[in-house]
């Protein structure tokens, strides 16, 4: 479940950046616009899942112990993946496109 959400969020940013690049924007500008534009859907998805897991994480009662642990792991994974998606994916995209740009200019020389 966590992997699916993280990958979906990363695809949202990368796909929107690629669309902006196809429209003629430089990749730095496209990354900034994509990050701002896709922040809201990513936050809404992650926070809704976290809030949805809180009742399971806070539950008390018969056999709630095993569900509590799983819910806390999912909440931690969602929040950490949110940070990684918002910061790490654009940084890696930037590094890869910078390297492509440098390799492209070296071949032309």
> pLDDT value at position 108?
60
Q: Is the domain defined by 2-108 classed in CATH 1.20.1640.10?
A: yes
Q: Is the pTM of this model over 0.85?
A: no
Q: Dump pLDDT digits (tens) for 72-93.
A: 999 999 999 888 888 899 999 9
Give the pLDDT confidence score for residue 24 in this predicted structure. Answer: 93
Q: Are 27 and 94 in contact (CB under 8 A)?
A: yes
CA 36 to chain CA centroid, Å, is 12
Position 109 scores a pLDDT of: 53
Using CA atoms, how far apart are residues 89 and 86, in angstroms rounded to an integer? Answer: 7
Half-sphere exposure of 53 (CA within 13 A, CB side): 21
- What is the domain partition of the chain in residue ranges? 2-108
For residue 99, the Cα-to-chain-centroid distance in whole angstroms is 22
Tell me the H-state helices in the chain: 2-22, 27-58, 65-83, 89-108
Q: Residue ranges of the chain with pLDDT lower than 70?
A: 106-109
Measure the CA–CA gap between 87 and 96, rounded to whole angstroms. 15
Query: In the prediction, which pLDDT does 12 show?
Result: 87
- Residue 59's SS3 state is coil
């Amino acid at each position: 479940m966590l992997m699916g959400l993280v990958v979906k969020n990363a695809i949202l940013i990368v796909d929107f950046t690629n669309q902006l690049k196809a429209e003629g924007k430089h990749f730095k500008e496209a990354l900034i616009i994509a990050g701002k534009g896709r922040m809201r859907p990513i936050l809404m998805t992650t926070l809704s899942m976290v809030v949805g897991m809180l009742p399971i994480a806070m539950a008390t009662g018969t056999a709630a112990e095993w569900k509590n642990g799983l819910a806390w792991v999912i909440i931690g994974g969602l929040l950490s993946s949110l940070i990684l998606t918002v910061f790490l994916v654009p940084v890696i995209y930037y590094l890869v496109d910078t390297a492509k740009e440098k390799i492209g200019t070296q071949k032309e020389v």
